[in-house]
Chains A and B, each alone.
Chain A
Amino acid sequence: MKAKPVPRYDIPYVNLPAQADEQMPELAAIFARVVRRGSFVGAGAEIERLEARLAEYCGTREAVALNSGTDALFLALKVPGIGPGDEVITPPNSFIASTAVIVHLGARPVFVDVLADQNIDPAAVERAITPRTRAIMPVHLTGRVCRMDQIMEIAERHDLLVIEDAAQSIGSIFQGRKSGSFGHFGCFSAHPLKNLNAMGDAGFVTTNDTAAAARMRRLRTHGMADRETVEEWGFVSRMDVLQAAILDYRLDKLPHVIAKRRENAALYQRLLKHEKIFVPPCRQDEFNTFHTFVIQAERRDELQRHLRAIGIKTAIHYPVPIHLQPAAASLGYRKGDFPATESQAERILTLPVNQYMSAKDVEAVAGEVLSFYGA
């Protein structure tokens, strides 16, 4: 009988305490500055500055600061008028929000399967197009941009909107272009666990469509054109000024965050060579930012339990595909409809890859994974 494993590591999945440690004096100064100005809500200088910087960073004309990545997706569908009777093609292996916003607008999510790298399969997208299709919503999962050359080509041929779910992919590049700059809208999250993270909920939309951006800025604050005029029914989806100031500060650090994550990921890729483990390779034309580092492994649940027992935190994104969630029952999908997604759901494991990990930490995790398989 094998001895019960004892925790000999303390490797967290994310490391917000380390980030706080590193940034606390600057963060406190930001809090104090925003409070002194007393402008907590609404499109003030902080919001405008952040929007301009995000647009420049992502390579679009506009960025619109919002309350969350979910709201970014919602407004990106709402502004072009997607609604009842319309279909939106999207993958089922995303976080629930990308599908929920489609349903909330009365439209129908049409799922298509994914490739070995977990991103949407362009050929499957084309097969799913019907006369009711209005938009394609690719999800740049794990910080890897989808095959946007093919997707944009399909969209143009069929006159469809493309709304990029870029929640996990700020700064990722495909064929020389940043995520969020390919489609009509790019939808980003700045949730505390993202690579560019606020200290609460926050998100934004990128676009080259100035009129759409102006409308989004109205919709995020009750649909008001000014204090007295309600142009249309809107929402409350403003990014807190406090969060905008934090993101503005952290945007300077993003290149370093990305570089460190890429370094950690490259080390994993070098070390994790084993027949029981599949690590999607990085192609020449991709610059991946590794919001998550996901391996596809045999006996995944056992591996995760083992790593947890010895003090290495991992996660699964996501164990239950959306089409198999109770909330999706009315969409009429069944187990077996998306074989790649479903088989990946049983094998994917997200290893810690955050910027506060040292090469030694990465080597330790990789070593433990390999030794689990007896290598």
Chain B
Amino acid sequence: MTRIDLPLQPNGTKVQWSYLPRQFNERSVEEILDRLRAFVPSGDFTLGKPVREFEERFARLIGTRHAVGVNSGTDALKLSLKALGLGPGDEVITAANTFIATIGAIAENFARPVLVDCTDNFCMDVSKVEAAITPRTKAIMPVHLAGQMTDMPALMEIARRHKLPVIEDSCQCILGAITDRNAGTYGLAGGFSLHPLKNLNVWGDGGVIVTNDDDFAVKLRRLRNHGLADRDSVVMLGCNSRLDSLQAVIGNWLIDQVDFITTTRIKNAAYLDGELGKLPQIRLPHRYNDRRLVFHLYIVFAERRDELLAHCKKAGIEAKVHYPIPIYRQEGLRPFGYRKGDFPVTDRHADTMISLPAHEHLTAAQLAYMVQTISEFYES
């Protein structure tokens, strides 16, 4: 087999983490600018028509009655918890290996995050949830990390038994599904992120909450806009957390491509699974026949991870680790009293996981180059 080499890209790498320059190339930017030129004179910048259109289309995409555009994925979680009326002394069960925003959203509501360990698919180990429930538990917040799916049918069964609302952190999991039922449609609500590096991305911060509950949706719409029922009536104290109309214009342009983005990522991941799976030093996370995993991140477990990471970087592959220090061991979490070793699976992951680019703008040559680079590392 001939050895592949790739030309250096403008940012000095060969396989980029960020797909933004390819996604927003000259042709697509001109298309979007045309839309913006048409939008800007409307002056409809705050909760305008593009936001309503995006909300309708996003709700249809995910399969819920409502979608509510907010300022970020973090705020999607924060406002969902606020709408539950969470307060001091309340507990929310979530995953020990999540991105900080999940826990930040709980802490911001003065509630206490109660963590459970994850399984080898990076999502909450549902078999450990019941033991974490106390009389103070007010909600369960599973995290569909990296585009993987929490075992929602099992989790919903537990939630029903204990009459607890479920808010799905679906920030990294647009169109992830178990037996065709999408992330965000199992619980009372699901929070999504539209951050520039998410599978459906806008040109700044943005987020969406989906729900089938009419009253909950009304509450969320008020909370995101200062608690205003109309221009002059403040019915509750809210925040300023709106999806900008301008960002909704971008979202409306991109939402047509979500199927392409999702299927391409799945295809890329299948290729990497097939090739990297042959290496004895690489272990793949468990894959499921009945789940659609959307690979916001493509993560595998690697022997000599730190060396491999350095090797990849040297070869121009922008590999990363999500996350090298598990959230439960972060300084900010100290008040909650967790200690190193409390979550062994999470700890093991932190030492062995590596994230490789798998996005929809990679070429076949780039994918093959990654496989070659990693194989050579272990052969040498």
Contacts and interface: CB of A to CB of B under 8 A. Distances in A.
A358 B213 CA distance: 50
A17 B43 contact: yes
Interface residues of B, number: 58
A34 B203 contact: yes
Contacts of B196: 38, 40-41
A242 interface: yes
Interface string A221-258: 01110001111111111101111000000000000000
A201 B33 contact: no
A328 B226 CA distance: 13
A328 B234 contact: yes
A27 interface: yes
A318 B238 contact: no
Contacts of B236: 326-327
B6 interface: no
Nearest to A243: B204
Interface stretch (A66-74, A306-314, A363-371): A66-74
B84 to A, nearest CB: 16
Q: Which 3 A-B pairs have the closest CB atoms?
A: A16-B43, A240-B204, A200-B244
Interface in A23-39: 24, 27-28, 31-32, 34-36, 38
Contacts of A17: 41-43
20 contacts: A19-B43, A20-B40, A24-B41, A27-B40, A28-B36, A31-B33, A34-B203, A35-B203, A38-B24, A41-B205, A68-B71, A96-B234, A199-B244, A200-B46, A200-B244, A200-B245, A222-B100, A228-B325, A231-B332, A236-B205
Interface string A51-77: 000000000000000011111000000
A325 B40 contact: no
A232 B29 contact: no
Contact of A199 (B32, B40, B195, B333): B40
Contacts of B103: 233
A97 interface: yes
A233 B74 CA distance: 12
B323 A233 contact: no
A197 to B, nearest CB: 8
A215 to B, nearest CB: 13
B327 A325 contact: no
B81 interface: no
Contacts of B5: none
B342 interface: no
Nearest to A104: B237
Contacts of A41: 195-196, 204-205
B108 A235 contact: yes
B21 interface: yes
A32 B29 contact: yes
A328 to B, nearest CB: 7
Interface residues of A, number: 62
A300 to B, nearest CB: 14
Contact of B330 (A36, A40, A229, A242): A229
A322 B234 contact: yes
A307 B363 CA distance: 62
A20 B237 contact: no
Nearest to A232: B332
Given A16-B45, A325-B234, A222 B205 contact: no
Given A35-B29, A40-B196, A240-B244, 13 more contacts: A34-B203, A35-B24, A100-B239, A201-B242, A233-B108, A234-B104, A236-B72, A236-B75, A240-B205, A325-B233, A325-B234, A326-B233, A326-B236
B279 interface: no
B296 to A, nearest CB: 16
A351 B40 CA distance: 24
Contacts of A230: 100, 327, 330-333
Nearest to A25: B37
Contact of B46 (A28, A103, A201, A326): A201
Given A28-B33, A222-B74, A38 B40 contact: no
Contacts of A201: 46, 71, 240, 242, 244
Contact of B246 (A200, A222, A233, A316): A200
Counting chain A CB atoms within 10 Å of each CB, which of B20, B228, B237, B325 scores highest?
A: B237
B332 A236 contact: no
Contact of B331 (A192, A199, A229): A229
Contacts of A40: 20, 196, 202-204
A320 interface: yes
A70 B234 contact: no
A63 B108 CA distance: 24
Counting chain A CB atoms within 10 Å of each CB, which of B18, B232, B246 scores highest?
A: B246
Nearest to B29: A35
A200 B247 contact: yes
A36 B28 CA distance: 11
A198 to B, nearest CB: 8
A222 B78 CA distance: 12
B235 A326 contact: yes
B204 A327 contact: no
B324 interface: yes
B226 A97 contact: yes
Given A20-B41, A236-B75, A240-B203, A104 B234 contact: no
B308 interface: no
B71 A28 contact: no
Contacts of B244: 199-201, 240
Nearest to B242: A201
B340 to A, nearest CB: 16
Nearest to A192: B45
B175 to A, nearest CB: 22
B86 interface: no
B367 interface: no
